[in-house]
Structure 1
Protein backbone atom coordinates (compact mmCIF):
# COMPACT_ATOMS: atom_id res chain seq x y z
CA UNK A 1 0.00 0.00 0.00
CA UNK A 2 1.24 3.48 -0.84
CA UNK A 3 1.89 6.16 1.76
CA UNK A 4 -0.81 8.76 1.65
CA UNK A 5 0.44 12.12 0.44
CA UNK A 6 -0.77 15.15 2.36
CA UNK A 7 -4.07 16.67 1.28
CA UNK A 8 -3.56 19.80 -0.83
CA UNK A 9 -4.63 23.12 0.67
CA UNK A 10 -8.12 23.81 -0.77
CA UNK A 11 -7.44 27.56 -0.59
CA UNK A 12 -4.36 27.30 -2.85
CA UNK A 13 -4.99 28.90 -6.27
CA UNK A 14 -4.11 25.74 -8.23
CA UNK A 15 -6.06 23.26 -6.11
CA UNK A 16 -9.37 22.25 -7.67
CA UNK A 17 -12.27 20.49 -5.98
CA UNK A 18 -13.68 17.72 -8.21
CA UNK A 19 -16.80 16.90 -6.19
CA UNK A 20 -18.98 18.64 -8.77
CA UNK A 21 -17.63 16.29 -11.46
CA UNK A 22 -19.67 13.06 -11.53
CA UNK A 23 -17.63 9.86 -11.47
CA UNK A 24 -19.36 8.60 -14.60
CA UNK A 25 -16.74 8.03 -17.32
CA UNK A 26 -17.07 10.57 -20.10
CA UNK A 27 -18.56 13.39 -18.06
CA UNK A 28 -16.51 16.56 -18.09
CA UNK A 29 -16.26 20.04 -16.70
CA UNK A 30 -14.64 23.10 -18.29
CA UNK A 31 -12.42 25.17 -16.03
CA UNK A 32 -10.78 28.57 -16.52
CA UNK A 33 -8.36 29.98 -13.97
CA UNK A 34 -6.28 33.14 -13.81
CA UNK A 35 -3.64 32.67 -11.13
CA UNK A 36 -0.39 34.39 -10.16
CA UNK A 37 2.79 32.94 -11.56
CA UNK A 38 4.60 30.27 -9.61
CA UNK A 39 8.06 31.01 -8.23
CA UNK A 40 10.97 29.73 -10.26
CA UNK A 41 9.27 29.27 -13.64
CA UNK A 42 12.26 29.85 -15.84
CA UNK A 43 15.55 28.81 -17.33
CA UNK A 44 18.81 30.73 -17.66
CA UNK A 45 17.78 32.84 -20.67
CA UNK A 46 13.97 32.85 -20.51
CA UNK A 47 11.13 32.48 -18.05
CA UNK A 48 7.77 33.61 -16.76
CA UNK A 49 8.06 36.87 -14.77
CA UNK A 50 7.35 36.55 -11.05
CA UNK A 51 4.49 39.08 -11.13
CA UNK A 52 2.83 37.59 -14.24
CA UNK A 53 -0.58 35.98 -14.45
CA UNK A 54 -1.08 32.45 -15.76
CA UNK A 55 -4.25 31.83 -17.76
CA UNK A 56 -5.27 28.17 -17.50
CA UNK A 57 -8.01 26.53 -19.58
CA UNK A 58 -8.74 22.92 -18.68
CA UNK A 59 -11.20 20.19 -19.34
CA UNK A 60 -11.58 17.82 -16.40
CA UNK A 61 -12.91 14.51 -17.70
CA UNK A 62 -14.08 11.68 -15.53
CA UNK A 63 -12.48 8.42 -16.69
CA UNK A 64 -12.64 4.91 -15.23
CA UNK A 65 -9.44 5.32 -13.22
CA UNK A 66 -9.77 8.95 -12.15
CA UNK A 67 -9.90 12.48 -13.52
CA UNK A 68 -8.05 13.43 -16.70
CA UNK A 69 -7.01 17.09 -16.83
CA UNK A 70 -6.21 18.36 -20.33
CA UNK A 71 -5.75 21.90 -21.52
CA UNK A 72 -3.36 24.80 -21.82
CA UNK A 73 -1.46 27.34 -19.76
CA UNK A 74 -0.94 30.72 -21.39
CA UNK A 75 1.81 32.84 -19.87
CA UNK A 76 3.97 35.81 -20.73
CA UNK A 77 7.65 34.97 -21.12
CA UNK A 78 10.62 37.32 -20.98
CA UNK A 79 14.29 36.73 -21.55
CA UNK A 80 17.02 37.29 -24.06
CA UNK A 81 17.91 35.81 -27.42
CA UNK A 82 20.55 33.11 -27.22
CA UNK A 83 22.24 34.42 -30.40
CA UNK A 84 22.09 38.23 -30.33
CA UNK A 85 21.20 38.85 -26.66
CA UNK A 86 18.29 41.15 -27.55
CA UNK A 87 15.37 41.18 -25.09
CA UNK A 88 12.48 38.81 -25.79
CA UNK A 89 8.92 39.46 -24.66
CA UNK A 90 6.26 37.07 -25.85
CA UNK A 91 3.26 35.02 -24.79
CA UNK A 92 3.56 31.25 -24.89
CA UNK A 93 1.00 28.46 -24.69
CA UNK A 94 1.93 25.22 -22.92
CA UNK A 95 -0.08 21.98 -23.13
CA UNK A 96 -1.12 20.03 -20.02
CA UNK A 97 -2.37 16.48 -19.75
CA UNK A 98 -2.39 14.73 -16.40
CA UNK A 99 -4.30 11.78 -14.95
CA UNK A 100 -5.30 12.00 -11.29
CA UNK A 101 -6.07 8.47 -10.06
CA UNK A 102 -9.00 7.77 -7.74
CA UNK A 103 -8.08 6.25 -4.38
CA UNK A 104 -8.27 2.45 -4.50
CA UNK A 105 -8.42 2.37 -8.32
CA UNK A 106 -6.45 -0.18 -10.35
CA UNK A 107 -4.08 2.63 -11.36
CA UNK A 108 -3.55 3.48 -7.70
CA UNK A 109 -2.71 -0.14 -6.94
CA UNK A 110 -0.45 -0.80 -9.96
CA UNK A 111 1.69 2.35 -10.11
CA UNK A 112 4.32 3.90 -7.89
CA UNK A 113 3.58 7.08 -5.96
CA UNK A 114 5.54 9.30 -8.35
CA UNK A 115 4.20 7.81 -11.61
CA UNK A 116 0.64 9.15 -11.50
CA UNK A 117 -0.91 12.08 -9.64
CA UNK A 118 -3.54 11.18 -7.03
CA UNK A 119 -6.83 12.69 -5.94
CA UNK A 120 -6.69 13.55 -2.26
CA UNK A 121 -10.12 14.08 -0.66
CA UNK A 122 -11.55 14.89 -4.13
CA UNK A 123 -8.94 17.63 -4.60
CA UNK A 124 -6.41 17.82 -7.41
CA UNK A 125 -3.29 19.95 -7.25
CA UNK A 126 -2.53 21.48 -10.64
CA UNK A 127 0.78 23.05 -9.59
CA UNK A 128 3.04 20.09 -10.51
CA UNK A 129 1.67 19.62 -14.06
CA UNK A 130 1.56 23.39 -14.66
CA UNK A 131 5.17 23.72 -13.51
CA UNK A 132 6.23 20.71 -15.62
CA UNK A 133 4.42 21.98 -18.73
CA UNK A 134 6.00 25.43 -18.54
CA UNK A 135 9.51 24.30 -17.61
CA UNK A 136 9.60 21.59 -20.29
CA UNK A 137 8.02 23.89 -22.88
CA UNK A 138 10.49 26.76 -22.51
CA UNK A 139 13.26 26.77 -25.12
CA UNK A 140 16.75 26.10 -23.76
CA UNK A 141 18.19 28.44 -26.41
CA UNK A 142 15.48 31.07 -27.07
CA UNK A 143 15.64 33.13 -30.25
CA UNK A 144 14.23 36.58 -30.97
CA UNK A 145 13.30 35.15 -34.38
CA UNK A 146 14.11 31.88 -36.14
CA UNK A 147 16.54 33.45 -38.63
CA UNK A 148 18.44 35.56 -36.07
CA UNK A 149 22.02 35.83 -37.39
CA UNK A 150 23.51 36.55 -33.96
CA UNK A 151 26.59 38.64 -33.25
CA UNK A 152 29.77 39.30 -35.20
CA UNK A 153 32.38 37.15 -33.45
CA UNK A 154 35.08 39.82 -33.87
CA UNK A 155 33.39 43.05 -32.75
CA UNK A 156 30.33 41.72 -30.89
CA UNK A 157 27.82 43.87 -32.80
CA UNK A 158 24.50 42.40 -33.94
CA UNK A 159 24.78 41.30 -37.59
CA UNK A 160 21.43 43.01 -38.28
CA UNK A 161 22.91 46.39 -37.35
CA UNK A 162 26.05 46.03 -39.49
CA UNK A 163 26.39 46.84 -43.21
CA UNK A 164 26.23 43.94 -45.65
CA UNK A 165 29.94 44.29 -46.48
CA UNK A 166 31.03 44.24 -42.81
CA UNK A 167 34.18 42.26 -42.21
CA UNK A 168 37.36 42.33 -40.19
CA UNK A 169 40.70 41.97 -41.90
CA UNK A 170 42.59 39.14 -40.34
CA UNK A 171 46.20 38.54 -41.08
CA UNK A 172 47.38 35.00 -41.11
CA UNK A 173 49.81 34.78 -38.15
CA UNK A 174 52.25 32.88 -40.37
CA UNK A 175 52.61 36.03 -42.54
CA UNK A 176 52.81 38.49 -39.64
CA UNK A 177 56.64 38.31 -39.57
CA UNK A 178 56.76 39.49 -43.20
CA UNK A 179 54.72 42.54 -42.25
CA UNK A 180 57.29 43.34 -39.58
CA UNK A 181 60.12 43.15 -42.16
CA UNK A 182 58.50 45.93 -44.15
CA UNK A 183 58.84 48.20 -41.13
CA UNK A 184 57.10 51.52 -40.63
CA UNK A 185 58.02 52.91 -44.04
CA UNK A 186 56.44 50.55 -46.56
CA UNK A 187 57.43 52.69 -49.53
CA UNK A 188 60.97 51.27 -49.63
Structure 2
Protein backbone atom coordinates (compact mmCIF):
# COMPACT_ATOMS: atom_id res chain seq x y z
CA UNK A 1 0.00 0.00 0.00
CA UNK A 2 1.24 3.54 -0.65
CA UNK A 3 2.17 5.66 2.30
CA UNK A 4 -0.24 8.50 3.13
CA UNK A 5 2.44 11.13 2.52
CA UNK A 6 3.16 9.96 -1.04
CA UNK A 7 0.38 7.99 -2.74
CA UNK A 8 2.61 7.39 -5.78
CA UNK A 9 5.08 5.37 -3.72
CA UNK A 10 4.63 1.60 -4.17
CA UNK A 11 6.17 -1.15 -2.04
CA UNK A 12 8.09 -3.68 -4.18
CA UNK A 13 9.82 -5.63 -1.38
CA UNK A 14 8.36 -8.94 -2.62
CA UNK A 15 9.83 -8.35 -6.12
CA UNK A 16 13.30 -7.02 -5.34
CA UNK A 17 16.03 -9.28 -6.78
CA UNK A 18 13.44 -11.84 -7.92
CA UNK A 19 13.57 -11.89 -11.74
CA UNK A 20 10.46 -13.35 -13.31
CA UNK A 21 8.13 -12.37 -10.45
CA UNK A 22 5.17 -10.16 -11.32
CA UNK A 23 2.50 -8.33 -9.31
CA UNK A 24 -0.47 -6.20 -10.33
CA UNK A 25 -1.77 -3.39 -8.16
CA UNK A 26 -4.53 -0.86 -8.51
CA UNK A 27 -4.28 2.48 -6.78
CA UNK A 28 -6.93 5.19 -6.57
CA UNK A 29 -6.20 8.44 -4.76
CA UNK A 30 -6.74 12.19 -4.84
CA UNK A 31 -3.92 14.00 -6.64
CA UNK A 32 -1.92 15.68 -3.85
CA UNK A 33 -0.57 18.44 -6.11
CA UNK A 34 -1.83 19.98 -9.37
CA UNK A 35 -0.53 18.34 -12.56
CA UNK A 36 0.16 20.84 -15.34
CA UNK A 37 0.29 24.62 -15.42
CA UNK A 38 -1.22 25.74 -18.74
CA UNK A 39 -4.73 26.22 -20.15
CA UNK A 40 -5.75 22.77 -18.89
CA UNK A 41 -4.65 21.05 -15.65
CA UNK A 42 -5.46 18.16 -13.34
CA UNK A 43 -6.30 20.10 -10.15
CA UNK A 44 -5.22 19.04 -6.68
CA UNK A 45 -7.79 16.66 -5.20
CA UNK A 46 -8.89 15.16 -8.54
CA UNK A 47 -9.18 11.37 -8.46
CA UNK A 48 -6.39 9.47 -10.22
CA UNK A 49 -6.46 5.74 -10.97
CA UNK A 50 -3.29 3.73 -11.54
CA UNK A 51 -3.37 0.15 -12.82
CA UNK A 52 0.17 -1.08 -12.22
CA UNK A 53 2.03 -4.14 -13.44
CA UNK A 54 5.30 -4.60 -11.55
CA UNK A 55 7.84 -7.10 -12.90
CA UNK A 56 11.09 -8.17 -11.25
CA UNK A 57 14.09 -8.10 -13.60
CA UNK A 58 17.84 -8.60 -13.10
CA UNK A 59 18.48 -4.82 -13.33
CA UNK A 60 15.45 -3.58 -11.42
CA UNK A 61 11.68 -3.40 -11.41
CA UNK A 62 9.80 -2.79 -14.66
CA UNK A 63 6.69 -0.69 -14.00
CA UNK A 64 3.95 -0.62 -16.63
CA UNK A 65 0.87 1.46 -15.89
CA UNK A 66 -2.42 2.73 -17.20
CA UNK A 67 -3.30 6.13 -15.72
CA UNK A 68 -6.81 7.60 -15.73
CA UNK A 69 -7.90 10.98 -14.42
CA UNK A 70 -9.75 14.11 -15.48
CA UNK A 71 -8.32 17.47 -16.57
CA UNK A 72 -10.12 20.82 -16.39
CA UNK A 73 -9.52 24.08 -18.22
CA UNK A 74 -11.12 26.52 -20.61
CA UNK A 75 -11.58 26.60 -24.36
CA UNK A 76 -8.93 28.81 -25.93
CA UNK A 77 -11.45 30.05 -28.52
CA UNK A 78 -14.60 30.86 -26.53
CA UNK A 79 -13.40 30.60 -22.90
CA UNK A 80 -16.08 28.03 -21.95
CA UNK A 81 -15.05 25.44 -19.36
CA UNK A 82 -13.76 22.12 -20.73
CA UNK A 83 -13.49 18.75 -19.02
CA UNK A 84 -11.07 16.32 -20.63
CA UNK A 85 -10.78 12.65 -19.68
CA UNK A 86 -7.10 11.66 -19.50
CA UNK A 87 -5.94 8.11 -20.23
CA UNK A 88 -2.22 7.47 -20.66
CA UNK A 89 0.17 4.56 -20.40
CA UNK A 90 3.80 4.38 -19.44
CA UNK A 91 6.51 1.80 -18.95
CA UNK A 92 9.64 2.57 -16.97
CA UNK A 93 12.48 0.59 -15.43
CA UNK A 94 13.38 1.44 -11.84
CA UNK A 95 16.97 0.24 -11.45
CA UNK A 96 18.57 -1.30 -8.36
CA UNK A 97 21.81 0.66 -8.77
CA UNK A 98 22.73 4.14 -9.96
CA UNK A 99 23.59 4.03 -13.66
CA UNK A 100 23.55 6.64 -16.42
CA UNK A 101 21.26 4.40 -18.49
CA UNK A 102 18.40 4.58 -15.95
CA UNK A 103 16.50 7.66 -14.80
CA UNK A 104 14.73 6.09 -11.81
CA UNK A 105 15.84 3.92 -8.90
CA UNK A 106 14.31 1.50 -6.41
CA UNK A 107 14.67 3.21 -2.99
CA UNK A 108 14.20 1.30 0.27
CA UNK A 109 12.16 -1.44 -1.43
CA UNK A 110 9.82 1.17 -2.98
CA UNK A 111 9.36 2.80 -6.38
CA UNK A 112 8.13 6.38 -6.60
CA UNK A 113 5.90 6.64 -9.68
CA UNK A 114 5.13 10.35 -9.14
CA UNK A 115 7.63 11.83 -11.66
CA UNK A 116 6.72 9.26 -14.32
CA UNK A 117 2.96 9.78 -13.83
CA UNK A 118 3.40 13.55 -13.80
CA UNK A 119 5.38 13.51 -17.07
CA UNK A 120 2.95 11.13 -18.79
CA UNK A 121 -0.16 13.08 -17.74
CA UNK A 122 1.20 16.58 -18.36
CA UNK A 123 2.58 15.66 -21.80
CA UNK A 124 -0.80 14.20 -22.78
CA UNK A 125 -2.71 17.41 -21.97
CA UNK A 126 -3.69 19.49 -25.02
CA UNK A 127 -1.73 22.70 -25.47
CA UNK A 128 -4.78 24.56 -26.79
CA UNK A 129 -7.95 22.86 -25.54
CA UNK A 130 -11.24 23.53 -27.33
CA UNK A 131 -14.81 22.82 -26.21
CA UNK A 132 -15.48 21.27 -29.63
CA UNK A 133 -13.42 21.00 -32.81
CA UNK A 134 -15.58 23.47 -34.76
CA UNK A 135 -15.82 26.08 -31.98
CA UNK A 136 -16.10 29.46 -33.76
CA UNK A 137 -14.77 31.40 -30.76
CA UNK A 138 -15.63 34.98 -29.82
CA UNK A 139 -16.60 37.94 -31.99
CA UNK A 140 -13.48 40.15 -32.10
CA UNK A 141 -15.55 43.36 -31.93
CA UNK A 142 -18.34 42.55 -29.46
CA UNK A 143 -16.80 39.68 -27.48
CA UNK A 144 -19.99 37.60 -27.72
CA UNK A 145 -19.81 33.86 -28.34
CA UNK A 146 -20.23 33.28 -32.08
CA UNK A 147 -21.89 29.89 -31.40
CA UNK A 148 -24.72 31.72 -29.58
CA UNK A 149 -25.05 34.54 -32.14
CA UNK A 150 -26.49 32.41 -34.96
CA UNK A 151 -25.97 33.03 -38.68
CA UNK A 152 -25.16 36.56 -39.81
CA UNK A 153 -23.46 38.43 -42.59
CA UNK A 154 -19.72 38.83 -42.19
CA UNK A 155 -18.63 42.40 -41.61
CA UNK A 156 -16.34 44.02 -44.11
CA UNK A 157 -13.24 45.00 -42.24
CA UNK A 158 -11.25 47.78 -43.83
CA UNK A 159 -7.55 47.86 -43.17
CA UNK A 160 -6.91 51.14 -41.28
CA UNK A 161 -3.96 51.87 -43.58
CA UNK A 162 -6.43 52.29 -46.47
CA UNK A 163 -8.95 54.41 -44.52
CA UNK A 164 -7.75 57.64 -46.21
CA UNK A 165 -8.55 56.17 -49.63
CA UNK A 166 -12.09 55.40 -48.40
CA UNK A 167 -12.53 59.15 -47.84
CA UNK A 168 -11.31 59.92 -51.38
CA UNK A 169 -13.78 57.42 -52.85
CA UNK A 170 -16.66 59.10 -50.99
CA UNK A 171 -15.60 62.55 -52.27
CA UNK A 172 -15.39 61.23 -55.84
CA UNK A 173 -18.90 59.67 -55.60
CA UNK A 174 -20.38 62.89 -54.19
CA UNK A 175 -18.70 64.96 -56.91
CA UNK A 176 -20.04 62.65 -59.64
CA UNK A 177 -23.59 62.77 -58.21
CA UNK A 178 -23.42 66.57 -58.02
CA UNK A 179 -22.30 66.75 -61.67
CA UNK A 180 -25.08 64.39 -62.77
CA UNK A 181 -27.70 66.50 -60.98
CA UNK A 182 -26.46 69.80 -62.39
CA UNK A 183 -25.70 68.44 -65.85
CA UNK A 184 -22.03 69.42 -65.76
CA UNK A 185 -19.10 67.26 -66.69
CA UNK A 186 -15.81 67.15 -65.00
TM-score by length of structure 2 reads 0.78
The structure-2 alpha-carbon separation of the partners of 1:86 and 1:166, relative to structure 1 and needing over 3 Å to count, comes to farther
**Are 2:156 and 1:156 aligned?**
no
**Residue of 37, 45, 49 corresponding to 2:43:** 49
Separation in 2 of the partners of 1:150 and 1:58?
Answer: 40
- Partner residue in 1 for 2:67: 73
Separation in 2 of the partners of 1:95 and 1:87?
Answer: 26
Higher Rg of the two aligned structures: 2
Structure scoring higher RCO (CA < 8 A, sep ≥ 6) equals: 1
State the Cα distance separating 1:123 from its structure 2 match.
Answer: 1.0
Across the aligned residues of Structure 1 and Structure 2, the Cα RMSD in angstroms comes to 2.7
Separation in 2 of the partners of 1:19 and 1:129?
Answer: 20
Whether the 8 Å CA contact 2:16–2:60 is kept in 1: the answer is no
- Partner residue in 2 for 1:90: 84
Question: Deviation string for 1:50-79 (max 9, x for gaps)?
Answer: 221111111111122111111122111110
Separation in 2 of the partners of 1:86 and 1:179?
Answer: 43
Whether the 8 Å CA contact 2:16–2:109 is kept in 1: the answer is no
State the Cα distance separating 1:23 from its structure 2 match.
Answer: 3.5
TM-score by length of structure 1 reads 0.77
Q: Please list every run of 5 or more consecutive structure 1 residues that lacks an aligned counterpart in the other structure.
A: 1-8
Q: Please list every run of 5 or more consecutive structure 2 residues that lacks an aligned counterpart in the other structure.
A: 179-186
